[in-house]
Amino acid sequence: MSHELIRRKIRPSHQRIKILDYLMNQRCHPTVDQIFHDLHQEIPTLSKSTVYNTLNAFLEAQLIRVITIEDHETRYDIAMKNHGHFKCDSCGSIYDFTINIDDFATGELNGFQITDKNIYFKGICPRCSQGL
């Protein structure tokens, strides 16, 4: 993990490595608060500012991306390949799914420079559907 940070010109501090490890192993599309809450026990010196600054460094290095399915909620995603997201309205879980975003027609956008593509779906996940 430290090799990836060095390759992207990010100094591999203990806290940065732990945050990257968390993002790679917890595929939950966490918020800053979730990351801080989940890692604070293990790293008592961790601050929310450090989490924000680390995530911003990862964003600048294109190591992660921001997903904003809800206007009031910023989440982070380590998966950089184009893919879609499904958010369950019942439990709030966010799932990745494979989709070829490049297949979507953008004919009406001739002359526009597209810098990002996001596909979001909302509904009820299978686990929550069973409880209905």
Q: What is the mean pLDDT of residues 126-131?
A: 91
**Tokens standing for 125?**
């996940």
Q: Which CATH class is domain 81-130?
A: alpha beta
Question: Tokens 């997903």 appear where?
Answer: 67
28 is in an annotated binding site: no
91 is in an annotated binding site: yes
Comparing 2-68 with 81-130, is the CATH topology the same?
A: no
Check: CB of residue 101 under 8 Å from CB of residue 82.
yes
User: Using 50, 70 and 90 to split pLDDT, how confident is the model at 101?
Assistant: confident
Tens digits of per-residue pLDDT, 37-79? Answer: 999 999 999 999 999 999 999 999 999 999 988 888 899 999 7
- 126 exposure class (CB count in 10 Å sphere: 0-12, 13-18, 19+): exposed
Q: At what angle do helices 48-60 and 14-25 cross, to 10 degrees?
A: 70
Higher-scoring residue by pLDDT: 28, 90: 90
Conformational region of residue 6, where left means phi above 0, alpha means psi within -120 to 50, and beta covers everything else: alpha
pTM of the predicted protein model: 0.83
Q: In the chain, what are the domain boundaries?
A: 2-68, 81-130
125 is in an annotated binding site: yes
Looking at residue 131, its pLDDT comes to 76
The domain defined by 2-68 carries CATH number 3.40.50.150 = no
128 is in an annotated binding site: yes
